[in-house]
Amino acid sequence: MNPTIRPAEPRDVPRMLELVRELALFERAPDEVTVTEEHMRDAGFGKDPVWFGWVAEADGVIHGMAVCYERYSTWKGRRLYLEDIIVTEAARGQRIGEKLFLQCARHAVEQNYSGMLWQVLDWNTDAIRFYERFGAAFSDEWRNGSLEREGLLKVIDVG
C-alpha cells in the first residue's frame, strides 16, 4: 500500500470519526467519544475552524489521519499541537503514521511554529517508541489537568 497524504476534507469526517472511535477502543475509553459528525465537521470546516489535518488514502479508503491545531505558549509562542495520529489497525506497519507525522512536522516548519507537541499514554509503548525514533522528548514532571463541561458548570455555579 502506498497511500497519498492529503488535506482532510468535509467528506472525510465520517471515516475520521470511525478512526477516532477505533482509537478510543484501543485506549480503553470507548464511551469517552461524545463528538458528533456534525460537530467535528463544523469544528474543522465551518465558519471558525479550530482544527486541520490530513488523511492517508489508498484505493479510495482512508487508512489513517492526523488532526492538529495551533496552540500558544507564553514562553515559546505559536506551537503546533498534534491532537491525534491514528492509523487503522489493519494498516499499521506500513509507515503511514510516519508519513502523517512528517506532514505535521513540515506544516509546523512552513508556518514558523516554535515547535510541535502532543500527548501519549504512558502504557502505549509502541507509540512512545514511534515518537522516540524522531528524537522526541517526554516530560515526567507535567501532569494533565482537565474539566469536562459538567465540571465547568459546577465551577461557574460556585463562583
Residue 93 has pLDDT above 80, yes or no: yes
Instruction: Please give the Cα distance from 63 to 74 (Å, whole number).
Output: 36
What is the structure's pLDDT at 159?
A: 57
Confidence of residue 80 (pLDDT cuts 50, 70, 90): very high
Per residue in 98-120, pLDDT tens?
999 999 999 999 999 999 999 99
Collapsed DSSP state (helix, strand, coil) of residue 73: strand
User: Any idea which residues carry the catalytic annotation?
Assistant: 131
CB 100 within 8 A of CB 64: yes
What is the structure's pLDDT at 43?
A: 98
Domains annotated for the chain, with CATH where assigned, are 4-158 (3.40.630.30)
Judging by beta carbons within 10 Å of its beta carbon (0-12, 13-18, 19+), is residue 101 exposed, middle or buried? buried
Q: Which residues contact 89 (CB under 8 A, 6 or more apart)?
A: 22, 26
Per residue in 27-53, pLDDT tens?
999 999 999 999 999 999 999 999 999
Per residue in 126-144, pLDDT tens?
999 999 999 999 998 988 8
